[in-house]
Amino acid sequence: MSLDVAAVKAQFPILDQQVYGKRLVYLDNAATTQKPRAVIHAIQSFYEKDNANVHRGVHALSERATAAYEAAREKVRGLLNACSVREVVFVRGTTEAINLVAQSWGMARLRAGDEILITEMEHHSNIVPWQMLCERTGARLRVLPINDAGELCMEQLPSLLNERTKLVGVVHLSNALGTINPVAEIIRQAHAVGARVLVDGAQAAAHMPIDVQQLDCDFYATSAHKMYGPTGIGVLYAKETLLDEMPPYQGGGDMIRMVTFEHTQYNELPYKFEAGTPNIAGAIGFGAAIDWLRGLDMGEIAAHEQNMLQEATRRAKDLPGLRLVGEAKHRATVLSFTMEGIHPHDLGTILDREGVAIRAGHHCAMPVMQRFGVPATVRASLAAYNTLDDLDALFLALEKACAMFA
Ligand code: 7TS
């Protein structure tokens, strides 16, 4: 069976509009995906029928809100195949998840002389928190380089891993290049020297099945808004043994069992890491997005997006002056490129006027831009609802831009 793309697309009300008198062609899915009616309705229904704070009220609404919030946690557990909901911490998104690990686990564990290994293709949110941690602890940040195709130089990994390596941070699917990294192999090698591994799954979860037990990663971070869910909610998965020994990230309500001025006893997992009123509606929307995704077939989504990406790549290579940035063998969703003689931002503006929404910039991955010697790229990124018509519109607009600048 193949994905019924028209039926999928029909579930996204926002896509049914025109901008500047042109059909909206949304190809900025790596920044954030659009939301299906099921997600919008779940959030609306919560506010219309069940809104209350969680984990504290004795009244009916609070019980319903708590049940819905905790049901969403179970859906996230299922999405990642975590062993237990105790390993599922709701956070604002990938960025907060990584900061939580750096501040809590990192501050407790790292000493001067220790090493953190990341890769040259990380998003700033998987670079800066580790730099901050290194500044505070005296640890050293090391970087696994990428090759001209935008793949990790895996042959260099063994020489960068040693007994001082305490953590490896690696992106599962690169937002700037589209590269799918061999994270299972990286985890295996990192564990062999006793290092923990954090996988940045911000982009991955919408495009491939995730199984944290099979990967054996120590931490996995992702954001709901990149997988058809709302903004402001995401998840940190961590092995229970790690969360158990980690100190809280923030103090406040909900994360405690008992407080006196002399001593505070922390709450059980995962609440120890969820101080304050959480994003209840967001979590419920996240749960609805997972239900929606699971109602489709992830294999069919991946196959559809792969066909589209291959077609887009073929057409891109036929366009004179176009340079692809990122041609990894294992790649998904992202077509990143520059056009000779046209600044990516100008190109972005021209495409916008044609109704085509892409992103132009450094994609919060400045080291990737430096590696390829470009200030920025144009990035078209695909989701389940994109069609060949969308590619037609993209390439028509690109040809128009070329003609304008010729
Ligand atoms: N890691 C990767 C690989 C990302 O692509 C992003 C967001 C993040 C982390 C941060 O996620 P957040 O939900 O906490 O913001 N990437 C992008 C992008 O490519 N365009 O806009 C945001």
Which residue segments constitute the domains of the chain, with CATH numbers given? 5-31+297-405 (3.90.1150.10), 40-294 (3.40.640.10)
Residue 363: is its pLDDT beyond 90? Answer: yes
Nearest CA to ligand 1 atom 4: 202
Question: How does pLDDT run across 3-29, given as a tens digit for each residue?
Answer: 999 999 999 999 999 999 999 999 999
With the most atoms of ligand 1 within 8 angstroms of its CB, the residue from 27, 90, 96, 123 to mutate is 123
With the most atoms of ligand 1 within 8 angstroms of its CB, the residue from 231, 364, 368, 369 to mutate is 364
Cα 95 to averaged position of ligand 1 atoms, centre (Å): 8
Instruction: Say if residues 258 and 265 touch (Cβ distance below 8 Å).
Output: yes
- 374 SS3 class: coil
Instruction: Say if residues 150 and 177 touch (Cβ distance below 8 Å).
Output: yes
Residue 57: is its pLDDT beyond 90? Answer: no
Mean pLDDT of 39-48: 98
Q: How confident is the model at residue 210 (pLDDT cuts 50, 70, 90)?
A: very high
Q: Which atom of ligand 1 is nearest to the CA of 122?
A: 3
- State how far the Cα of 278 lies from the Cα of 67, in Å rounded to an integer: 14
**DSSP strand E in 5-87: where?**
18-19, 22-23, 25-26
> What single-letter DSSP state applies at residue 375?
S
Write phi, then psi, for 298 (nearest 5 degrees): -60, -35
Cα 88 to averaged position of ligand 1 atoms, centre (Å): 20
Q: Which atom of ligand 1 is nearest to the CA of 175?
A: 5
Question: How does pLDDT run across 145-173, given as a tens digit for each residue?
Answer: 999 999 999 999 999 999 999 999 999 99
Structure tokens at 299: 């294999």
Q: Which atom of ligand 1 is nearest to the CA of 381?
A: 19
Pairing of β 22-23 and β 115-119: unpaired
Q: Which atom of ligand 1 is nearest to the CA of 93?
A: 14
Q: How confident is the model at residue 56 (pLDDT cuts 50, 70, 90)?
A: confident
- State how far the Cα of 303 lies from the Cα of 313, in Å rounded to an integer: 15
- State how far the Cα of 16 lies from the Cα of 206, in Å rounded to an integer: 22
Mean pLDDT of 339-359: 97
The residue whose two tokens read 């994609």 is 363
The residue whose two tokens read 């790649």 is 331
Is any ligand 1 atom within 6 A of the Cβ of residue 30?
A: yes
With the most atoms of ligand 1 within 8 angstroms of its CB, the residue from 29, 174, 203 to mutate is 203
Cα 222 to averaged position of ligand 1 atoms, centre (Å): 9
Q: Report the Cα 378 to chain-centroid distance in Å.
A: 19
56 or 109, higher pLDDT: 109
Question: How does pLDDT run across 67-79, given as a tens digit for each residue?
Answer: 999 999 999 999 9
> What single-letter DSSP state applies at residue 85?
G
Question: How does pLDDT run across 302-327, given as a tens digit for each residue?
Answer: 999 999 999 999 999 999 999 999 99
| DSSP code string of 321-338 | TEEES---SSB-SEEEEE
Question: What pLDDT does 249 receive?
Answer: 94
Q: How confident is the model at residue 350 (pLDDT cuts 50, 70, 90)?
A: very high
Cα 188 to averaged position of ligand 1 atoms, centre (Å): 25
Chain length of the chain: 406
Cα 403 to averaged position of ligand 1 atoms, centre (Å): 33
Rounded alpha-carbon distances, angstroms, from residue 243 to 48, 75, 126, 189, 367: 35, 20, 19, 22, 31
Question: What pLDDT does 215 receive?
Answer: 98
Nearest CA to ligand 1 atom 6: 202
Is any ligand 1 atom within 6 A of the Cβ of residue 336?
A: no
Q: Which atom of ligand 1 is nearest to the CA of 28?
A: 20
Question: What pLDDT does 406 receive?
Answer: 83
Question: What pLDDT does 93 receive?
Answer: 98
Question: How does pLDDT run across 84-140, given as a tens digit for each residue?
Answer: 999 999 999 999 999 999 999 999 999 999 999 999 999 999 999 999 999 999 999
Is any ligand 1 atom within 6 A of the Cβ of residue 362?
A: no
Cα 163 to averaged position of ligand 1 atoms, centre (Å): 31
Residue 261: is its pLDDT beyond 90? Answer: yes
Residue 1: is its pLDDT beyond 90? Answer: no
- State how far the Cα of 144 lies from the Cα of 231, in Å rounded to an integer: 31
Residue 231: is its pLDDT beyond 90? Answer: yes
Catalytic residue among 83, 134, 153, 364: 364
Structure tokens at 311: 């077609």
Q: Which atom of ligand 1 is nearest to the CA of 172?
A: 3
Is any ligand 1 atom within 6 A of the Cβ of residue 33?
A: no
Cα 123 to averaged position of ligand 1 atoms, centre (Å): 7
Q: Please give the mean pLDDT across all residues of the chain.
A: 97
Q: Is 217 a catalytic residue?
A: no
- State how far the Cα of 82 lies from the Cα of 61, in Å rounded to an integer: 29
Rounded alpha-carbon distances, angstroms, from residue 76 to 24, 41, 90, 153, 290: 31, 19, 9, 32, 7
CA trace torsion 351, 353, 359, 361 (10° rounding): 90
Cα 223 to averaged position of ligand 1 atoms, centre (Å): 8
| DSSP code string of 108-157 | HH--TT-EEEEETT--GGGTHHHHHHHHHH--EEEEE-B-TTS-B-GGGH
The residue whose two tokens read 């294999």 is 299
Is any ligand 1 atom within 6 A of the Cβ of residue 379?
A: no
- State how far the Cα of 366 lies from the Cα of 173, in Å rounded to an integer: 16
- State how far the Cα of 298 lies from the Cα of 280, in Å rounded to an integer: 26
- State how far the Cα of 77 lies from the Cα of 212, in Å rounded to an integer: 10
